[in-house]
Structure formats: C-alpha cells, structure tokens
Amino acid sequence: MANIKKCCFGRIGRLVLPAVYDEALSYQDLVYSLCQKINEIIDELSQSDEDFYNYVDQSVANAIKQCNQYTDQQINKTYSEILLITNDLRNYVDSQNAGIRSTFSAQISEIWQYLYNLPTGTDIVIDPTTGLPNSLQNTLNNMWQALSYSLTCLDYAILDFTCDEYETENVTCFQYAWYGKFIWLKRLYKPLFYMTHPYTGLTVFYQEVINWLASLHNTDSLTCQEYADKNLTCDAYQALNLTCTQYAWELSTLIS
C-alpha cells in the first residue's frame, strides 16, 4: 500500500479571509487540495481492494486446485479398490459358474446315458441284479448268470478234459449248464486245493500233505495192532477217561 502524506492546513491556511498579497491558500484551494487528497485515498483503497480480491481469488483457486487434486486421488483410489473387488467377484463368480456348469454337465450326461440305455417296449421290469429298469428277457438272462454255476469257455479249458474223461462224468446238459462249476470244483480250482508233496514230490490233495506233516509230530499214538496188543477191556479203557486229543496224540504214554 502507498504512503499517503497527511494534510497540514494549519501552516498553509488561515481562519481569516485571505489578503490580496498573502501567500496563504484560499478556501477554494484548500477544498481542491482536500478533494485531491481524498481522490488519492480512494485510488489507494481501490488498488488495495483489487489486490485483496486478487489474493482471495488466487487463494480460492489454489484451494479448489488442491481440493480437486485430493478428490481426484481419492476417486482414483476408490475406483482402483472397486475395480479390484469387482475383479475378485468376477473371478469368484466365474469359478462358481464353472463348477456349477461342470456339475450340471455331468448330471445331464448321466441323464442322457440313462435315457439312452433305457430299454424300450412294454415288458419293462426292475432288474434285481442291477436295480435298473430292463427288458424282461435281459433281466432273466442276468438272473440266470447270477444264480447258475455254469462254466465259461476259460473254465472248461482249465478242466483239460479228454473226450473219454468227460464221457465218464455222465453229466446231463442241465447239470452242465447250471452246476458245471460246482461239479468240477476241485478240478477247476486244482491249483488252490492241490500242492506238491514235500516228501514224494507228487501233486496231491492238500489234506494228504497236512496229514503227513501231522504224522511227523505224532510219535506217541498207537496203531490198530499196537492198541490190540494192549488187551484193554472196555471197563479198563473207560477208567482211563481219555479225551480225543489224548487218544490221538498221547495214547502210548497213557496206557502202560
């Protein structure tokens, strides 16, 4: 703000009418001087108001700029967060949709497979072997397969029958069709019931090998002749009160 000089009318003016040759200012000169000074003050105040308005405008502009920058930053930050959440939701929805689509596709495929395999016709029954609808003929065939002991081609090949051996079996067609596997069970499953004798080297029934192994440990039993040589009466044998195990394994030590 400019430095406005103060008016000093005491030195340049007087309270009496001015003389013709006096150097003092007249009243009109004083009024003009006062008007000039007032105009200077008005100009200065006008210039000060303009600076003030410019300062306020600049401050408001800076404040608006800072506010805009802050709000833009917050909007961008919020938009980024919303975009991230939206992407997460989209990915989650896509994964759920893929799982649901896969489940529905599998179920639809099962339904189509079921419908494709569903027998046609009027004689439709529930097959007890599968629990599914089936034609009557197929159901009977499945029940026959489940209940019969018939031989397969592989089973018959394992039996390794010659014509003469098969002829001597004297098996009817019905028995062959329904009980063939049961009739020749031992022969069919020979590897399961027969083994090589550890002493003779022959292929024998497993029970024979078990009996032979037991005889190696049964050293205190009696043969029929040895028992006859004891000449035991019924009363004497009854008095021994032997168990089956004692009779079979310890008889020679219990009978003197």
Tens digit of pLDDT for each residue in 154-167?
A: 777 777 778 887 78
Average pLDDT over residues 58-68: 87
The reply to whether 155 and 90 lie within a common domain is: no
> Residue 20 has what pLDDT?
55
Q: Which CA distances in Å does 9 have to 3, 18, 61, 74, 181?
A: 19, 14, 46, 64, 150
Tell me how far apart the alpha carbons of residues 33 and 49 are, in angstroms, rounded to a whole number: 24
Whether 249 maps to a domain, the answer reads: no
Whether 239 maps to a domain, the answer reads: no
The reply to whether 81 and 23 lie within a common domain is: yes
Range of the domain at 173: 148-183
The reply to whether 90 and 162 lie within a common domain is: no
> Residue 13 has what pLDDT?
47
What's the full length of the chain, in residues? 256
* pLDDT > 70? residue 17: no
Q: For residue 180, give the H/E element and its range.
A: helix 173-183
Tens digit of pLDDT for each residue in 229-250?
A: 888 888 888 888 888 888 888 8
Q: Which CA distances in Å does 100 have to 106, 107, 183, 212?
A: 10, 10, 55, 68
The reply to whether 93 and 171 lie within a common domain is: no
Tell me how far apart the alpha carbons of residues 5 and 230 are, in angstroms, rounded to a whole number: 167
Q: Which residues pair with 134 in a beta bridge?
A: 125
What SS3 state is found at 233? coil
Whether 198 maps to a domain, the answer reads: no
The reply to whether 18 and 69 lie within a common domain is: yes
Number of domains in the chain: 2
Whether 197 maps to a domain, the answer reads: no
Tell me how far apart the alpha carbons of residues 185 and 168 are, in angstroms, rounded to a whole number: 17
- Kindly give the residue spans of alpha helices, DSSP state H, lying in 13-135: 27-117
Query: Longest Cα pair distance anywhere in the chain, in angstroms?
Result: 198
Whether 75 maps to a domain, the answer reads: yes
Whether 40 maps to a domain, the answer reads: yes
* pLDDT > 50? residue 11: no
Tens digit of pLDDT for each residue in 97-152?
A: 888 888 888 888 888 887 777 666 667 888 888 888 888 888 888 887 777 777 77
The reply to whether 71 and 164 lie within a common domain is: no
Distance linking the first and last C-alpha atoms of the chain: 152
Tokens read off for 92: 């989650």
Whether 214 maps to a domain, the answer reads: no
The reply to whether 13 and 107 lie within a common domain is: yes
> Sorting pLDDT into bands at 50, 70 and 90, what band is 21?
low
Whether 37 maps to a domain, the answer reads: yes
* pLDDT > 80? residue 181: no
Please state which of the ranges 74-78, 99-103, 178-182, 203-207 shows the lowest mean pLDDT. Answer: 178-182
The reply to whether 27 and 108 lie within a common domain is: yes
The reply to whether 76 and 14 lie within a common domain is: yes
